[in-house]
Structure 1
Amino acid sequence: FNQQLESSYAEEPNSVAVMLPTHQKVVRLAHRPTTDIDPSYHLPLTYESVPTFPDDDGKTPLVLLHRLYLSIDPAMRGWMSSARSYLPPVAINAVMRGATLSEVVAVRGASRLKVGDVVSEFAGEAGGWQEYVIVSARSVRKIETWSELVDNHQQTPRELPLTIHLSVLGTTGLTAYFGFIHVGCPRLPSETKRPEVVLVNAAAGAVGSIVCQIAKNVYGCKVIGVAGSDAKCRLLIDDLKCCDAVINYREMENEVERGAGTADPAELFALKSTEFQKRLRRVLKQIDAKGLDIVFDNVGGYQLNECLSRLNYFARVAICGAISGYNNDLTKQQTDNNVSPTGLYMKHGMAIISLRAKIQGFIVLDYIKEWSNAKKELARWVLEGKIRYQKEDIRDGLENAPSALVDLFHGNNNGKLIVKVGEQQVKRKEIVSRL
């Protein structure tokens, strides 16, 4: 196989040949979690042979990919479950699914891809927690160059790392873009008598922070961010300057639990709901607003419930995720006071009807035909300073991917969480990402 690889490189004069190892690290789904993820039990690390091109007629163009980076996302918890979802569950003993950036290290057959190209993949056959994989050349997409993203822009582009294609220019940025603009349907102040009021749950997270910046810097909205620490609140107010007011829900929860005198989950849920409602009223008064026009929700639970009680007429609620309930045991009966699929929105159901509010879930794959244009707009906003590129939280080594996923659900990350799997083995000028 290394002879095949050397032949592939021989056709690329700007490439440097590399020799493949015989074995690679792979993470497979061994068991389906019903509550919290146990990395070694649910997602054990294995060592397996590096794949080789099949001995067939060779008519199907194939590429050998060397994994560079993995994106760590809340959706992965849903893929590990057997519950109905927008993608089939990851099969037991299958390679764990995920969005990736990879380097082409060998090509078989006629293909638009070349050795050294860096490609992205969302969650199909090429997306997975492994160091090497052979896939159809048609299943991956070469990352865009600066000239392909922004035409005739006067500002000189600055270099940014490849990982921006998993954050602002990846499915993270696209989720923020389509969820806020296509589902939230924001209106400019020139179209209304006042700036619209937006609340973003998990506002300091990878998606939430981009939503806040688009809302504030592109659409001129008043923005309330809900985050889980003082540091994250300061990021939104002082660093990114994308929120007019913030709520530290973690500090609030700790205060409630210390003074509650009960450990009953339903009672604590009710107490947290009441306190969150008070703080929401306080920040609305602080920014001189009566209610919410747009809610971008990543959390669910009491936060979403109480946001629904403060909606303005014809408000729009974009449901991106429900991270507060992803680790709940959905095999057990739950009450409407907890985070359950059936009880999540019913507390303020009549208010939603009378206010003519819209609640809509969405999946970024719904808009895949529009990704290219959206990336161009996101890139332009980065260049204009309307979206600030933030350095990602990068963990080193495929073996640390399972624990990184656990950290994501405990809020132990700063910004977009990515795992670095390997270094680029081929150096080509045209794969440098410039923005």
Structure 2
Amino acid sequence: MAGEVSGRRTRPARTGRMARVRRWWGRALGSEGHERSTVLLIAKGTLAATIAWVISYHLLHAQSPAFAPFSAVLIMQVTVYQSLLQSSRYVGAVVAGVAVQAALGFLVGPDVPAFALVALVALTIGRWPALGSQGSQVATAAFFAFSTYVSATSALDKVTQLGQIILLVLIGCGIGVLVNVTVLPPLRYRSAEHGIRTLAHALCDLVSDIYPALRERGLDEERTGRWRARAEQTGELVTQARTGLRMARESLHYNPRRLFRRGRAHTYFEGYAAVLEALERTLRQVAALTRSLDKWRADEDRYRYGAFLASYADFLESLSHTTRVFADLDEDRLGDQTSQLHQLADEAQNYRRRLAEQAERDDLPLTDPGRPYGVLVIEAARLMEEFQYTCDVLQHHVER
């Protein structure tokens, strides 16, 4: 009986894992994204390692043929630019490590004190900032070189084996870069879009939570505190968006596929960078708005603020429509989307004017620093400026 229960529990778990695996492969085969990039990186790494092994083992008959495929895989970075950068640093680190061993080995000998000295010098050189993340390879290369040096039987054999290490590393790095450049070199255009979409989604969700509560006058301390906390926690999303934009720009360097998009790449990234900066400023303005709402006092009955809140809700709702367009930003539809954004910006501008007029009609204490009315009106004007600027920037780069 217990076995039957255990079997019933195991089968759904396996079914769930298989379903997740199928979905993962479906995303990898069906659309661009992390899954497809992972599959391509593995396939290209396998190809580069195999070619490097064939050359080093079957053609050169090297004594340490694994250096070539190891090097090919090590520098198989996501972008062509990173492959070139890391391969140059890696080759420099290996050459430095082998040179340290060659110099100290011939001067001091193959004893333990010599190894300690090699380790000391190699680890010190590995701290050189110019080597970046490849600094640790100085010591690795020096240790392998020391092992090769000790096992060699003659001075000529020692020199030959140390030189072979450098040759194998050069072969591996060259094959890795060549495969990455010629076999579907990655272009990360969509990384920039994804970051902006994520940021716009967060902005849209927050604004869409605020304006219904304003209509209902539901400005209790708990709710406004949550808004304020959400607005202040968007820094990580901004960082992710900037990383996505940087990767998208970086993927163009030395990438032959950019030739098929000549004339679009520069304006594309300029426009998206400006949109990202504008959205970041908009989020700061929304954060300031939530702080003002968090200071609201619902017991101010002597002021007729109901109509003012309703007008503010209309304004924020119009802005939420704009953020939904940014959350669905697509390079292939930018022309239509920018036209739609300008129409929505005009509507939001009208609601912003009505808000200011409503505040004047209700004779609210806009100049009283102890009450939020004046600050809220100012925040509405600033928000409108940022949204209008974002739309104008996108329109400008689409027309170029």
- The TM-score, its normalising length taken from structure 2, stands at 0.23
- The TM-score, its normalising length taken from structure 1, stands at 0.21
Higher gyration radius (CA): 2
Report the structure, 1 or 2, having the larger helix content. 2
